[in-house]
Amino acid sequence: MNTIRSFLAAALLALPAAGALADPVTYSIDGAHTKVWWEVRHFGTSTQRGRFDEMEGQIMIDREAHRGQVSISIATGSVSSGVPALDKVLRGSGFLSSDAYPTAYFVAEGARFDGERLAALRGEFTLRGVSRPLELASTRFACRRDEMLQREVCGGDFVAEFKRSDFGSTFGLPFVGDNVRLVIGIEGIRQ
């Protein structure tokens, strides 16, 4: 989750300064509009997909200085593949080890820009108690004024890949793929 927060913070910093702010601005992750999906090859044929349903975090952005921090936490026990029996296996020691490590984190402070466009967020992803560098590539990012909330909402889509074996999850290799692709749709509400 810290990775997603870092990512969102960097993403917000990358926005053109339409009404640039002199002070840092904090955004809270909107759990209803933020999802982390995962994809893994299954026996070399199809792709198994699922999501995590519970996460929280905050983003701090200083648009003028092009700096920010993202901190996101994901409840590993909230994994959902659509198949309850598979979800139980995924929560087990061979994959997420949710009892021992109930939370995964993404924390980021590094951002890469292509001109004024946020291209990526670089940070650290912690899963199963193991931390590794991770870069989230931005496919889109924008902000808008939400009239119902009477606040600014920013969000976007990001993708990343990592090897689950780097985090100690080797069950089923090579039949269940080692490469995990994350697709993250995130929204934050200005506080």
- Which residues form the domain of 161? 2-190
How far CA 64 is from CA of 124, 148, 152, in Å, comes to 24, 27, 17
What's the pLDDT at 8?
44
What's the pLDDT at 119?
78
The position carrying tokens 């905050």 is 58
Q: Which two tokens stand for residue 80?
A: 């959902």
Give me the number of domains the chain comprises. 1
Distance CA 59, CA 122 (A): 14
pTM: 0.81
CATH (domain of 151) = 2.40.128.110
Q: Which two tokens stand for residue 99?
A: 């009892």
Q: Are 95 and 89 in contact (CB under 8 A)?
A: yes
Q: Which two tokens stand for residue 132?
A: 């590794």
What's the pLDDT at 9?
45
**How many CA atoms lie within 13 Å of 10's alpha carbon, on the beta-carbon side?**
32
Residue-by-residue pLDDT tens, the chain, 191 positions: 544 444 444 444 444 433 344 478 888 999 888 999 999 998 888 999 999 999 998 877 666 667 667 889 999 999 999 999 999 999 999 999 999 999 999 999 877 777 666 778 889 999 999 999 999 998 988 888 989 888 899 888 999 999 999 999 999 999 999 999 999 998 989 98
What's the pLDDT at 91?
97
What's the pLDDT at 68?
65
What's the pLDDT at 47?
93
Torsion of CA 24, 25, 30, 31, to 10 degrees: 20
Distance CA 137, CA 28 (A): 21
What's the pLDDT at 71?
87
What's the pLDDT at 169?
95
